[in-house]
Structure 1
Amino acid sequence: MIYKKMTCLKFLFLLLSTCFINAQSPVQVDKNLGLIPTPHQLIQKKGHFQLSGAITVGVNQTELEPIAKILINYLNRIAKVDLDFVDAKEKRAKIQLKINKDLKPNSHSVKVGKIIELEGQSYEAVANAVASLVQLVKNSEKGSSIPHVTITDSPKSDFRSVMLDLARFWHPTETIKETIDLLWLYKIKYLSLHLSDNKRFTFPLENYPKVNKTHFDGSREFYTKDELKDLVDYAKKRGVTIIPEIEVPGHSGVLWSTYPEIFGSVDDKTSEAKPLYVVNMAKESTYSALNEIISEVAEVFYNSPYLHVGGDEVYLENLKKVPEYQEYTSKHNLQEAAKGDANELFCHFINRMNSMVKAQGKKTIIWEGFHGTGSKNLTVDKDITVIVWNTTYNHPQNLLDNGYHIVNSTWMPWYMVGAMNFAPTQKQAYSWKPTQWSHWQDSIEDIEVNSDKGILGGQISFWEQNHFKVIPVLRKRVPILAAHLWSGGIEATYDEFSNTLDSSDKLYGKLFRPITFNVQGLLNEADQRFKEKLVIEINSKKDVEYKWSFSNSWNLPNMGEAKTYETPIEIERSGILTVQAFSAGVPIGHPIQEYYEKVIPAYSYKLYGPLPKKTWSSVPNLSSFKQIREGVSGFMSNERLDKINGELFAKVERDGHIDTRFYGVYNPYIVELKGNLSLPESTTYTFRLTTDDGLANIYIDGKQIAKGTELKKVSEDFTVNLSKGEHTLRLEYFYSKIQNQLNLKYKTDKMDGFLPFERLVTPLKN
């Protein structure tokens, strides 16, 4: 009897153990389930949480209601599930959000079983948990579900940032909000906004309103405080914090030229502003005014722990000529400055700015711009965070050795320059480490510091970009930065990671750009060029209304008042198509914009790349490079030139410019253009070739008649005798870094001046 009881108990124990193991043992299906960034600890279990029927979402603290409602919105968008918010501390909620102060700083957990529990040490950490949960959603023909998992996670690097340059080109708030959404999805903590520069001050100043410019049509080049506060709130709800930057003492022309009596120096003879190229650091009124500005900016961006005050590319020579210079340097015992070393005054300025920022309860950020630790008798404060980008002003190892905390925003791969078509490749970003710096100039050596101690994190710095390039450039680069900084590296192979990134990018599209087109009439599917007419059919979805607008301007229209899509859109001229999806009158995601160019076909083209970092002294053999695209391009037109120069900070010359820009290609390449010439007479022709940061060759009838040798913007003339009639043409051109400019002109002995080369080019047939 005792034996039978023991046998039964043993059997029951084994049965219960088996059930427990089956319920709890991890299932190795996918080591990270497609999450970017990869969690530090993830255990997948058997089973799925089905996103079907009525599902309630509740919070343990009322402050979590915004992120809970965002979760509901996004899950409804990608899974078509019926989620509903319930009051705080509601016990019956199937998805529960909670702040748990007992967790370690910045950490969160995701537990998916019969219910879903999201916990974070702070609101931001809970927002990170929500991003993980949204990425876990799997869609199939059977419906949507989330695998049973337990995730415990926290970031390795706290400073994870993307910077937008709002001061060179105007950005609608809609673009900034979409950028915030992108950062939320990949757990990027900060959005840094470059708010001022030489020509524009986008923060609205109460006491110095003349720096805030308004166009004749009433459009503004600055934001209202309500707009900025709305952006701060939008970001905060998603666990993202906006860091403001007011650029001084350099890049501040709008201050010292508009208010020279306060920020600069007035020429007594002309009563105009003297060209200082910096704010007047030897004038007390400058400091008083800047203190007012810092206070005003800090109030709007109240939740940012940082305030960025610039500090790079400072020109000091003219500052030494202002009448206040000697008095100010003597008063503040700046002995080296008094002797002519204005660098000491610059370091003094940085420290005074730091005091102002700290008085607002914030920490100071500056660009790498001072040398060593400052000057002979003055050390730049060690509690300032330095963003190291160029490495020529200060070596990152020197800063670390001297106790500074730094942020890595190296040129390669984290500097984007939209106006220059410069955006290092995804593969370069994949191979980066936070301890590495690489410059775009060959002459500046790559750097790797001893360890990551003292490196707070990294930042993508996106300069001189138009708003319509922000998301196309960032959407597959931000996830790579996130993967490095959150997880401490990428363990997957490049191909594995690329596949995960493609999947994650599709999710991004469903959430924030849920609009797809079928376009008929393009000369090449990879380009946006057409010859006669385009027919664009929007892939419609049930219960979704699409509105569209077509114009010559990139200005974002009021989509609520745009045309409703009912039949395919026909386009017969160049312009920008803007489309927005709506559900019950509420926007879904963000509007998308595409520029379609009507051309007279002039060349067939082939693109080759990617190009190595080191440039050449002549155009290399094209056969040694991979072909990345081919298609048809058109003649340069005034309309196209306006579009090109509208996207550029440094404009191209209008006469003779050849279009060598291609849709969606952001890095240096070699292009081969083939076409035909029709020469009006038999005579001597002189071809004037000008490139900038690149080289070109010209072939006529298979014979090389021009070989460019000038890598800088210097014109070269090539003379050749040619007969009247038809000839074949081939152009080879590469730009090596950040200046995509090919200019060709011609003249004969009978002509007084040069004319655009394309006057000799005949349209392609068929």
Structure 2
Amino acid sequence: MILKNTFFLSLFFLLFGTLFGEAQTTNSHNEILNLVPSPKEVTKPKGYFKLSGPILVHADQSELKPLAEILVNYVNHISDSDLKLGTGSDNSSKIFLRINKKLNENTHTIRIGRKIEVEGQNYEAVANAIASLVQLVRVSKGGSVIPRVSITDSPNSDFRSVMLDLARFWHPIETIKETIDLLWLYKIKYLSLHLTDNKRFTFPLEKFSKVNKTNSDGSREFYIKEELKDLVEYAKDRGVTVIPEIEVPGHSGILWSTYPEVFGSVDEQTNEAKPLYVVNMAKESTYTAMNEIINEVAEVFYTSPYIHVGGDEVYLENLKKVPEYDEYTLKHNLKEAANGDANELFCHFINRMNHMVKATGKKTIIWEGFHGTGSKHVTVDKDIMIIVWNTTYNHPQNLLDNGYKIVNSTWVPWYMVGAMNFAPTIRKAYDWNLKKWSHWNDSIEDIEVDSDEGIMGGQISFWEQNHFKVIPVLRKRVPVLAAHLWNGHIDTNYNNFLKTLENTDQLYSSLFNPVKTKVSGLANEEDQRFTEKITIKFESKEKVDFKWHYSDSWNLPKMREAKSYKDSIELKESGVLTVQAFTSSGAPLGHPQQEYFQKIEPAYSYEVFSPIPKEGWESVPDFSGLNVVREGVTGFMSSNRLDKINGELFAKVERDGHIDTRFYGLYNPYAVRLKGQIYIPENENYTLRLTTDDGLCNIFIDDNLVAKGSELSKVAEDFQIKLSKGKHTVKIEYYYRKIQNQLNVKYKTDKMKDFLPFEKLVAPLKN
């Protein structure tokens, strides 16, 4: 009887709670709310907050006004709502934003009932809450709503960062701002900017202005301070902080070569810079100048608690030959350095840089670049934070055991290298954890440290990337990093996470890439290739004006001055299409969107196979056991296409004989099969010259293997074959193992003096 009464009592409370909207607490946050990252504590009552009629948004503190404006603009943009900024102490406001310093550090709360109350322990926490609130908006034909919910949330890892390499390829400010928008949406705290390297110094120096280069067309290879200050404020308004990196002592060629009398060493015979490959760490003028630079940087990036000073891939041999070396090492009691171990001088340099950074009120970050704790007599300061990426200079466990705070920026999955088409998959990112490091080189073993204590967070490091690859690569990788670092793990299975990610990615498009481009006439939709012409139409959910620009260059045009879109566009040549939406009043919506369309003369049918297994690729494998991820038609290599390929690469490919094995949107090692026909004008002996770089290739003619590659590095291999007059089938099977996608094939007959590109023998592919 007691059991029966208990059952009915439980049933009564269950029904009562359902009918009257009793709050339900759940751990399956993503399944209910579809937020990335998912919140830690959620209570979800029944019902929705309707975004109908005028709704006032009130910021309790004036400093929150930028976030109130962002909330109003973004919610109105993605829904049919009518949010407006409240004024004064208007009690009719329905959405309230406030800073509540009584909350735990970096914590925010969202309470949605008859009104919406957003609180954060600081400005950044409120910005994180606004990102969640915008993600919560549900749009339907019946009207836009936000689920009634109570959220209390805070991040596990404070250091959540994405790095852009601005020093290898020029990046428009617009691209950097779009990256900041992406980071805001997924609650990534820091944008780290690699501002300097061997060939470019993008930070504007006042005293050493010769390092700030200008191109022949008058365009700058450096930013002016007004641009950088605007960038800092743009990020600050969104709760994102910009960390500057000035790379020394290595990756600093532009300093020691441009000002050898200050940062390097002058050859007395030639009066030119000696090739040190590092700044002169044995010269006091180097330290004086670096202190001036650090102070300039600290002033511009005033919101950053850190300055990154580099510290990786340091070449020391030539440094020991400078005339100041002996005197400096003796003066500073660097005994090992005086006896020829310049590593001690390197560690001494790091510590002096740290003292300069700390004098500005900031903390120092460096890359993993020293061994152990430094040298026998000079220990690298323990208050420096180390970003561990390669694990070959210093093992992360060693650093943790010795009391250093570290950041995980492992090659796989958080290193992206645009010039090498390297961007580990979403699956690899999902499977990662904070304690794990994996290298692109399979001979270097994976590492997992004992504990995540002392690991401050993680960073995506995006190297050698062109500006037009930033968002396509990052937009589905940043949220995975965010999900890991916010909660310490991803609390749903992979397929469910992908569904949630698809929702937030669509939101990103609505907010920042609102133009939908419809293309007809493509030979390959996935590769954006065409043979004759394509027709372009622009669409948007809102009534907007479109402006567009089409040229051979990726340079971002001034979109306000671009052509107005009236009707469909017909394009007959390869080029870069840039489009942006504007309101009727002329205000831009989102950011410019760029796509490259390639006109081809069809040469081969192709199949792409992926993924490549880690083991057993010392020879070209049996393709029949691999997964086909894409197939279609590709074209002859053209001068225009070569320019585009080399425009995306730091290490350029050889022009003559290069075969196009790159495919739009595909990254990481894969295998390719090309099929076509060749035409032989007369019976003759041929030599095929095959060159790959970190890959192998087999060539079949009439199904006979005529060239079997065996060199995994960039070494040419020659193969002799006798070919008869007429048409022959050709099949090329190629793969690259790591990060160098380069296939080059040439030919020569006995009568020819020089080799020519193999594709001169290839007949156009018939439809």
Shorter-chain TM range is over 0.9
- How far apart are 1:349 and its partner, in Å? 0.1
Task: Tell me what 2:365 maps to.
Answer: 365
2:485 alignment partner AA: L
Task: Tell me what 2:646 maps to.
Answer: 645
- How far apart are 1:611 and its partner, in Å? 1.2
Q: 2:460 and 2:522 mapped to 1: Cα distance?
A: 33
CA contact (8 A) 1:35 1:132 kept: yes
Task: Tell me what 2:743 maps to.
Answer: 742
CA deviation string 1:617-649 (max 9, x = no partner): 111111211110001100001111011001100
2:566 alignment partner AA: E
Task: Tell me what 1:514 maps to.
Answer: 514
Task: Tell me what 1:620 maps to.
Answer: 621
Q: 1:60 and 1:528 mapped to 2: Cα distance?
A: 50
1:736 alignment partner AA: R
Q: 1:475 and 1:62 mapped to 2: Cα distance?
A: 32
Q: Does residue 694 of structure 1 match 2:695?
A: yes
Q: 1:64 and 1:89 mapped to 2: Cα distance?
A: 14
- How far apart are 1:612 and its partner, in Å? 2.1
2:180 alignment partner AA: I
Q: Does residue 125 of structure 1 match 2:114?
A: no
Q: 2:602 and 2:701 mapped to 1: Cα distance?
A: 19
SS in 1 for 2:68: helix
SS in 2 for 1:498: helix
1:221 alignment partner AA: E
- How far apart are 1:543 and its partner, in Å? 2.7
- How far apart are 1:415 and its partner, in Å? 0.2
Q: 1:20 and 1:729 mapped to 2: Cα distance?
A: 69
Q: 2:591 and 2:28 mapped to 1: Cα distance?
A: 32
Q: 2:197 and 2:716 mapped to 1: Cα distance?
A: 32
Q: Does residue 388 of structure 1 match 2:369?
A: no
Task: Tell me what 2:686 maps to.
Answer: 685
- How far apart are 1:54 and its partner, in Å? 0.5
Which residues of 2 match residues 280-679 of structure 1 at below 5 A?
280-583=280-583, 584-614=585-615, 616-679=617-680
Q: Percent identity?
A: 69
- How far apart are 1:21 and its partner, in Å? 8.2
CA contact (8 A) 1:59 1:89 kept: no
SS in 2 for 1:127: helix
Q: 1:651 and 1:764 mapped to 2: Cα distance?
A: 28
Task: Tell me what 2:174 maps to.
Answer: 174
- How far apart are 1:524 and its partner, in Å? 1.2
- How far apart are 1:333 and its partner, in Å? 0.4
Q: 2:661 and 2:17 mapped to 1: Cα distance?
A: 66
Task: Tell me what 2:20 maps to.
Answer: 22
CA contact (8 A) 1:62 1:88 kept: no
- How far apart are 1:18 and its partner, in Å? 5.0
CA contact (8 A) 1:59 1:90 kept: no
Return 5+ residue gaps in structure 2 as ranges: 1-11
CA contact (8 A) 2:27 2:42 kept: no
2:505 alignment partner AA: D
Q: 1:234 and 1:403 mapped to 2: Cα distance?
A: 35
CA deviation string 1:43-102 (max 9, x = no partner): 211000111110110011000000110011100111131110012443221011010000
Which residues of 2 match residues 32-51 of structure 1 at below 5 A?
32=30, 33-51=33-51
Which residues of 2 match residues 163-312 of structure 1 at below 5 A?
163-312=163-312
Q: Does residue 64 of structure 1 match 2:42?
A: no
CA contact (8 A) 2:26 2:42 kept: no
CA contact (8 A) 1:163 1:460 kept: yes
SS in 2 for 1:297: helix
Pick which of 593-602 and 613-622 moved more: 613-622
CA contact (8 A) 1:61 1:89 kept: no
CA gap 1:80/1:760 in 2 versus in 1, 3 angstroms: same
Q: 2:571 and 2:654 mapped to 1: Cα distance?
A: 29
RMSD: 1.3
2:255 alignment partner AA: L
- How far apart are 1:615 and its partner, in Å? 5.7
- How far apart are 1:28 and its partner, in Å? 6.5
SS in 2 for 1:387: strand
Q: 1:677 and 1:401 mapped to 2: Cα distance?
A: 62
Which residues of 2 match residues 82-121 of structure 1 at below 5 A?
82-121=82-121
SS in 1 for 2:149: strand
- How far apart are 1:511 and its partner, in Å? 0.6
CA deviation string 1:679-709 (max 9, x = no partner): 1111111100000010111011111111111
Q: 1:357 and 1:31 mapped to 2: Cα distance?
A: 41
CA deviation string 1:417-471 (max 9, x = no partner): 0000000000000000010000011111110000000000000000000000000
After TM superposition, the score normalised by the length of structure 2 is 0.97
Q: 1:331 and 1:25 mapped to 2: Cα distance?
A: 71
- How far apart are 1:667 and its partner, in Å? 1.3
SS in 1 for 2:231: helix
Q: 2:735 and 2:434 mapped to 1: Cα distance?
A: 31
CA deviation string 1:565-604 (max 9, x = no partner): 1110110001000000001200000010000011100011
CA gap 1:19/1:453 in 2 versus in 1, 3 angstroms: closer
- How far apart are 1:407 and its partner, in Å? 0.1
After TM superposition, the score normalised by the length of structure 1 is 0.97
1:477 alignment partner AA: R
Task: Tell me what 2:758 maps to.
Answer: 757
Q: 1:614 and 1:569 mapped to 2: Cα distance?
A: 48
CA contact (8 A) 2:25 2:42 kept: no
CA contact (8 A) 1:54 1:84 kept: yes
SS in 2 for 1:135: helix
CA deviation string 1:264-318 (max 9, x = no partner): 0000000000000000000000000000000000000001000000000000000
Q: Does residue 707 of structure 1 match 2:708?
A: yes
CA contact (8 A) 1:57 1:84 kept: yes
CA deviation string 1:201-253 (max 9, x = no partner): 00000000000000121100000000000000000000000000000000000
Pick which of 491-500 and 318-327 moved more: 491-500
CA contact (8 A) 1:310 1:367 kept: yes
CA deviation string 1:528-580 (max 9, x = no partner): 11000000111244430100000011110000010111110110001000000
Task: Tell me what 1:4 maps to.
Answer: none
1:24 alignment partner AA: E
SS in 2 for 1:456: strand
CA contact (8 A) 2:80 2:143 kept: no
SS in 1 for 2:139: strand
CA contact (8 A) 1:368 1:391 kept: yes
Q: 1:89 and 1:705 mapped to 2: Cα distance?
A: 82
CA contact (8 A) 1:440 1:613 kept: no
Q: 2:27 and 2:265 mapped to 1: Cα distance?
A: 68
CA contact (8 A) 1:27 1:46 kept: no
Task: Tell me what 2:150 maps to.
Answer: 150
CA contact (8 A) 1:275 1:318 kept: yes
Q: 1:678 and 1:19 mapped to 2: Cα distance?
A: 79
SS in 2 for 1:413: helix
- How far apart are 1:25 and its partner, in Å? 2.2
Return 5+ residue gaps in structure 1 as ranges: 1-13
Pick which of 21-30 and 87-96 moved more: 21-30
- How far apart are 1:20 and its partner, in Å? 10
Q: 1:88 and 1:598 mapped to 2: Cα distance?
A: 58
1:680 alignment partner AA: P
| Structure 1 residue ranges (4+ consecutive) displaced by more than 6 angstroms after TM superposition | 27-30
Q: 2:17 and 2:599 mapped to 1: Cα distance?
A: 67
- How far apart are 1:23 and its partner, in Å? 3.4
Pick which of 672-681 and 87-96 moved more: 87-96
